[in-house]
Amino acid sequence: MEPLIRVENLCKDYQVTRRREGVWGGVVDLVKPRREILRAVDDVSFEIPAGEMVGYIGANGAGKSTTIKMLTGILTPTSGHVSVGGLVPWRDRTHYTRHIGAVFGQRTQLWWDLAVIESFHLLRKIYEVEEGAYRKQLDLFRELLGLDEFLHQPVRKLSLGQRMRCDLAAALLHGPRLLFLDEPTIGLDVVAKESVRVFLREIRDQLGVTVLLTTHDLGDIQQLCRRIVIIDHGKVIFDGEIDELRSRVGDRIKLTIELREAATSASLADVTGTMPVIWRAGDGLVHEVEFSRRDVRSAEVIRAVVNDRPVHDLRIEEQDIEEIVRGIYRRGDAKATDAADEGQEAGDA
Amino acid sequence: MHDRSGDNILPRRDTSWGRRLREPRRQGAIIAAYFAQFLKSRMSYRVDFVIDLTANLFSLGVQLTVLTVLFGKIDALRGWSYEQVLFIYGFSLLPLGLFNLVGVNLYNFSEQYIIEGNFDRVLLRPVNSLAQVMFSSFGINGLNELVLGSAVMIYAGGRYGLSFSAVDIMLLPVFAVSAALIFAGVFLGLTSVSFWFEDRMGLAPPVYNVIRFSRYPLTIFHPLVRALLTFVLPFAWVAFYPAAWFIGGEEFRLLALLTPLVGILTFTLAYVVWTRGSRRYTSTGS
Ligand SMILES: Nc1ncnc2c1ncn2[C@@H]1O[C@H](COP(=O)(O)OP(=O)(O)O)[C@@H](O)[C@H]1O
Ligand SMILES: [Mg+2]
């Protein structure tokens, strides 16, 4: 079946001017600016079927926002193709944007000086939303997002969390089938973050909106998405289910053991014998042992230790996604650095 | 079972006549709503609004005084009578006023929209991007120029013994709007340049100064300047040619009638540059 979003070999170059240092450097810059090409998105391809909520993750500067801006028609790609529901975002912009919603955590889409409700009225006119549908949608969001307390306040007076809730409502008022979210939880406190997540789960389940969600907060992803696309230095380094990522990187388990009597790591290694585990050097009483769930069961490791030593306490930690992703980054980094070294000069034109 | 095959296709652009006829209404309604909101948000800073209004009335008074003093000393200018010169001046204020009503947004476009990245928001909405920028705020001062210009024209025309035919009365607003399109075109062109050169170009102020030339009878200038103002920066069409329809000789009649054409051409050309430029928009890194 044809996917709703199809991205093929998408690239975006920025021209950046590198300033020279010092006063003389400033003068030279005026005459002969140093321009370089920065490839922010590099040969990215993926597909998203209707109804899915996909996490698009990566470190700062990885190229997430640039990708979203191309998908929403703000930026024209340097090369490659994007097709969303058969439309090309930047080419069909004024028509295409009727059918999508977008929230950029860094920048509100609302009118700074207007009361929230007035911004909504304007959006209703712009998107030609029928009165009935508008009422229904607004009532739903007022309830889900608790908008009532600040609906009549100007946007400039809202807190970041309140503003984000309004932006989410604004992006969905016209009932778009697609929602693009760029860092929707950035800068929010724990409570506000949670309310955004709950809301997103609601609209995914209730309205069946297809969502592409950008974040560097893995908590968002763990709670909302089954599938993630990871990019690093503009390149896709992973595309698949979170579970698959776990098993691919190796489902590592870390066991922290607190002993009653001090011991060396070497002596503990003797206790586990031939089991494929790694003992980290501890301070005598506290030790850490790591192993993969595929190689050995935690129960066996624990039994071996407990049978041989007096144990005061035990703690089992699964590696969280953050660490898994960091592992992938490290591998991705090596490749991306090579590519950066080959970056061409843009000339002086 | 629920058929989900349609889920993957967004509706095509509706090109039916019903839609096409409805579209201007939608855009009109949006602009009207923008204007209402503009007034509202201006009034919410009530003190500013009152100060603005007072300042405007004051500046209107000053301009009228200066004008009386200035033109009171001039009898004639190289074959052009005091009344004719004054009439051209009066007319020149009409397109300037019309343009200033919505053109203020072009002056700081580069800083506000490109450097600060606010053009993102414009591009996200299903409305023509230029219309959104132009109608995002309104230069109410433009009304001053419209009032002042009309007053001066009526005064000068009356003293000149001008009689307007029905055709003249129909042509006057057409000329004024066309001339405003020329202004808009020239400044839109200059504004669009900032899509290519991010640093502020500062081209607009010097060009704005050239506008002053457009307020005098063109024939008093060196032929080179005349050619420049006719063909390069078409400011001659902004006031002199159209005004000459009413008070000038036969030789300007055809040129005057070309005003709408020049207006549409200038603006269209600038709009093409604008559209090309928007594709180059790179937003900002966050
Ligand atoms: N408008 C721009 N002009 C020049 N460089 C940019 C621009 N926007 C982003 N970049 C650069 O492109 C890279 C990717 O940026 P971005 O897409 O914003 O990453 P992310 O959203 O993942 O943090 C970064 O190195 C950033 O500095
Ligand atoms: Mg970003």
Q: Do B33 and A93 touch (CB under 8 A)?
A: no
Pairing of strands A100-104, A178-182: parallel
Predicted confidence (pLDDT) per residue in B227-265, tens digit: 988 888 899 999 999 999 998 777 888 889 999 999 999
Instruction: Tell me the two tokens of residue B138.
Output: 């309104």
Binned at pLDDT 50, 70 and 90, residue B76 comes out as low
In a domain, B199, yes or no: yes
In a domain, B107, yes or no: yes
Q: How high does pLDDT run on average in chain A?
A: 87
At A85 the three-state DSSP class reads coil
Show residues of chain B in contact with A2, CB under 8 Å. 8-9
Show residues of chain A in contact with B11, CB under 8 Å. 99
In a domain, B206, yes or no: yes
A346 has a pLDDT exceeding 50: no
Pure H helices in A128-241: 131-145, 160-172, 190-207, 218-224
Number of domains in chain B: 1
Binned at pLDDT 50, 70 and 90, residue A1 comes out as low
Q: Do B126 and A14 touch (CB under 8 A)?
A: no
Binned at pLDDT 50, 70 and 90, residue B46 comes out as confident
- Provide the β-strand partners of residue A19: none
Of A37 and B48, the structure prediction assigns the larger pLDDT to: A37
Task: Please give the Cα distance from A339 to A249 (Å, whole number).
Answer: 24
Q: Do B281 and A75 touch (CB under 8 A)?
A: yes
Predicted confidence (pLDDT) per residue in B203-216, tens digit: 777 777 777 777 88
In a domain, B6, yes or no: no
Task: Please give the Cα distance from A227 to B242 (Å, whole number).
Answer: 65
pLDDT at B199: 60
pLDDT at A338: 40
Task: Please give the Cα distance from A79 to A81 (Å, whole number).
Answer: 7
In a domain, B97, yes or no: yes
Using the atom order of ligand 1, give the atom closest to the CA of residue A69.
17
Task: Please give the Cα distance from A340 to B246 (Å, whole number).
Answer: 67
In a domain, B5, yes or no: no
The number of C-alpha atoms within 13 Å of A133 and in the hemisphere containing its C-beta is 11
User: Which of A84-93, A314-323, B87-96, B227-236 has the least mean pLDDT?
Assistant: A314-323
> What number of other Cβ atoms are within 10 A of residue B26's Cβ?
16
Closest-CA residue of B relative to A98 is B126
Task: Please give the Cα distance from A92 to B177 (Å, whole number).
Answer: 31
> What number of other Cβ atoms are within 10 A of residue A309's Cβ?
17
- Tell me what percent of the residues of chain B surpass a pLDDT of 70: 93
The range of the structural domain enclosing residue B131 comes to 17-279
In a domain, B7, yes or no: no
In a domain, B28, yes or no: yes
Show residues of chain A in contact with B9, CB under 8 Å. 2, 85-86
Cβ atoms of A68 and A56 closer than 8 Å: yes
Residue position matching structure tokens 């004008």: B67
Task: Please give the Cα distance from A327 to A320 (Å, whole number).
Answer: 11
Nearest 5 degrees, angle CA B115-CA B118-CA B121? 155
pLDDT at A199: 93
Pure H helices in chain B: 17-44, 46-72, 82-107, 109, 119-123, 129-134, 141-160, 166-192, 204-210, 223-227, 240-247, 253-257, 259-280
Predicted confidence (pLDDT) per residue in B105-148, tens digit: 888 898 889 988 899 999 999 999 999 999 988 888 888 889 88
Which of A1, A87, A126 lies at the smallest CB-CB distance from B30?
Answer: A126
pTM of the model as a whole: 0.83
Q: Do B9 and A107 touch (CB under 8 A)?
A: no
Closest-CA residue of A relative to B280 is A76
Ligand 1 pocket at CB < 6 A: A 14, 16, 38, 40, 58, 60-66; B 282-286
| Residue in A15, A38, A74 to alter for ligand 1 test, most ligand atoms within 8 A of Cβ | A38
pLDDT at B185: 94
The residue whose C-alpha atom lies closest to atom 12 belonging to ligand 1 is A40
